[in-house]
Amino acid sequence: MNNWQKMAKMSLIMVLSVAVVAAVRSTTLIAEQSRGEAEFIEYCTECHFNGGNIIKSTKTLSEKDRVTNGIKNAGDIIRIIRNPGEGMTRFDDKTLPDNDARRIAEFIIKTFK
């Protein structure tokens, strides 16, 4: 095998390696989003069905209402999950671990525009 063939083979291996890593990462991101959706359904839909709010109609999960209420990012959503206002169930880190809370927060941001 000459040098050109060796370089072509190495290039192909590198391209395939990058493709495999990208596919695995993409699959992981999709799985995380699906878990966030499942956790949202389990913990949140009772009061926030379709992103609404059955307790306080001005505090839906829509981006407009979130911004109006000072909730601009996932950290803000997690803060509310951990220490909510009147009428919302409090979810401590034993009930809802940090990774689960983050997945829910990211699902809310991506889903309710």
Interval 30-49: pLDDT, tens: 555 689 999 999 999 999 99
Number of folded domains that form the chain = 1
Percent of the chain with pLDDT over 70: 75
Find the CATH number of the domain harbouring 38.
1.10.760.10
Q: Which of helix, strand or coil describes residue 52?
A: coil
Are 32 and 102 contacting, i.e. CB atoms less than 8 angstroms apart?
A: no
Determine the structural domain holding residue 10 and report its residue range: 3-111
Are 62 and 42 contacting, i.e. CB atoms less than 8 angstroms apart?
A: no
Q: What is the pLDDT of residues 63-92, one digit of tens each?
A: 999 999 999 999 999 999 999 999 999 999
- Reported pTM: 0.73
CA 58 to chain CA centroid, Å, is: 23
